[in-house]
Chains A and B, each alone.
Chain A
Amino acid sequence: METVTQSIQGIPLNHYILLSAIIFTIGVIGVLIRRNAIIIFMSVELMLNAVNLLLTAFSVYWGDASGQVFVFFIMALAAAEVAIGLAILTMIYRNTNSTDINILNRLKW
């Protein structure tokens, strides 16, 4: 375990921040421009994984386990969200035979 911690600490923290920020931005862009609900959903998961990566890096950097525990919380709740999200998508697919979000424009101002 010591060696893992040391090898993570071998890379400067800024690199982790940059990498996570890039992955997070890819996720945000995916949510904003893709039209397929499942792909939007995957982009959200990408955002959450960027957060997990960064939390782990910070946790090692501070020598504090609470960051890694938080990662487990995020994983558990992301799994719950996936279950609900896929159920909602299935319900919509049954009614419309599509997962394109452009179909969802019945409610308009």
Chain B
Amino acid sequence: MSALITITILALLLLYLGLFKAKKALLPVALIGLMVALVLSLMEWNSNAAPIFSDMMLYDRFAIAFSGITIFSTILIIALSKDYFERISSNVAEYYALILFSLAGIILMVSYHNLSMLFIGIEIMSVSLYILAGIKKRDFASNEAALKYFLMGAFSTGILLFGVTLIYGASGSFDLEGIKQYILKDPTAVSPLLYTGITLLIVGLSFKVGAAPFHFWVPDVYEGSPSLIAAYMSTVVKVAGFAAFLRLIMFSFAPLQDFWIPMIIGMSVLSLLIGNVTAVYQQHFKRMLAYSSISHVGYMLFAIIALNGSSDNAVFVYAAAYSVATIIAFGVLILLQGQVGNDSFDSFNGLARKNPFIALTLTIAMLSLAGIPLTAGFIGKFMMFSRALSSYHIFLVVFAALNAMVGIFYYFKVIVAMYFKEEDRKELIVPIYFKLVLGFSALVTIVLGVYPDFIASLI
């Protein structure tokens, strides 16, 4: 709970620092404040969680674990922002403040106990992100990304709200516990309004996480937004949207499995197919990452298909592995775009000879995203597949394994370009912040891959 308050105050503090022209202090203050928030939120781990603020929020282990991983990823991403925003405009403080405001919304999204808090959290997050997507005011691609994201976001919010309303109409409560009690009272005779409501809610949330067939905005928005913001969207925002999705379904709708499982299976299969197959044909690294993020949503949906008490754990491990690896990929992307001005696969040629450290971390990230053993990504995929197998979705697992092989093909394109294609190129200048973040993330990926017990049974 104190994490939410810390982050909000921190954002306001950064705005004041900007007002008083203390630009040098922005990045250190933001990093220290976020670390304080992370520690404060982890300190509540063993307290007995009970709903707070008239049952509006529940800061249980699930909420702490997911706010931990989102705050952690935000720290890594903000550390990459050294000198990044200065190149866009001179009003830097607002950008940091907006990222932190959206993080505050995310904390609300992972710890809600009432559908009104879910709605408010999603809106606080999205409204900040609409601005962040369009911060390059003169750049046409950034404008387009902002407008597309805004229109899709507002549209999906409308659908989500209609779903919430219908659920309220059926059960007479916005409270997750109240809705659960209503369903449990007689699971065979719930009002048809509730079924429509659940469908609309699932559609609205899949727009937010970018699951196929509601994924079409994802590649355009990621490509057009500034790379740092795209990194934030594809890691922190996606994980938070997924946590909100999982919390809703685990808490309230678990008794109605027979109704929503076919929908989720369809979405998962489509996400895997569209994400992986389209990613193969991409010529640009950033767009490839966007499509691969769609396919990772497909894998994460497995945890919802095979829902039981430890689904949250599987999603947590997968989300941690995915976030850390994606941050490395986007870090290298930011370096390349800043110094080569191009992010096609050819621009990686010969990188291993000039920048062996960068090439090594990017290789670890790609291996982790592809799910090769001894990396965190393998543990994540293993947990997802074994969950799906334990509920006898054998065809689904076979299909997903085939898709994972397709995934290996396009992730390895980058590695092949770096190590086996020669080209005369200038050495990339790597600032110390980048070295720290990339090295640390690569280390986390390996450590989680070798000793998964660290986080595998946490929640």
Contacts and interface: CB of A to CB of B under 8 A. Distances in A.
Interface string B121-161: 00100010011001001101101111110110011011101
Contacts of B120: 73, 77
A89 B147 contact: yes
B298 interface: no
B155 A88 contact: no
A77 B123 contact: yes
Contacts of B287: 109
Interface string A71-100: 001100100110011011101100110000
Interface in B83-123: 116, 119-120, 123
Nearest to B128: A84
In the A-B complex, the 9 residue pairs with the smallest Cβ-Cβ separation, listed nearest first, are A47-B158, A107-B220, A58-B169, A62-B172, A77-B123, A51-B161, A44-B154, A104-B144, A92-B143
Contacts of B134: 88, 91
Interface residues of B, number: 42
Interface of B: 116, 119-120, 123, 127, 130-131, 134, 137-138, 140-141, 143-148, 150-151, 154-155, 157-159, 161-162, 164-166, 168-169, 172-174, 193, 219-220, 223-224, 278, 287
B278 A104 contact: no
29 contacts: A13-B169, A20-B165, A28-B159, A31-B155, A44-B151, A47-B159, A47-B161, A51-B161, A51-B162, A54-B165, A54-B166, A55-B168, A81-B154, A81-B157, A84-B131, A85-B150, A88-B147, A88-B150, A91-B137, A92-B144, A95-B143, A96-B140, A101-B147, A104-B144, A106-B141, A106-B144, A107-B141, A107-B145, A109-B278
Q: DSSP class of B's interface residues: helix, strand, loop or mixed?
A: helix
A48 B172 contact: no
B169 A17 contact: yes
Contacts of A66: 116, 173-174
B116 A73 contact: yes
A48 B156 CA distance: 11
A89 B127 CA distance: 14
A8 interface: no
B140 A106 contact: yes
Interface string A5-29: 0000000010001001000100110
B174 A50 contact: no
A18 to B, nearest CB: 12
A106 B148 CA distance: 12
B165 A55 contact: yes
A106 B147 CA distance: 13
Contacts of B127: 77, 80-81, 84
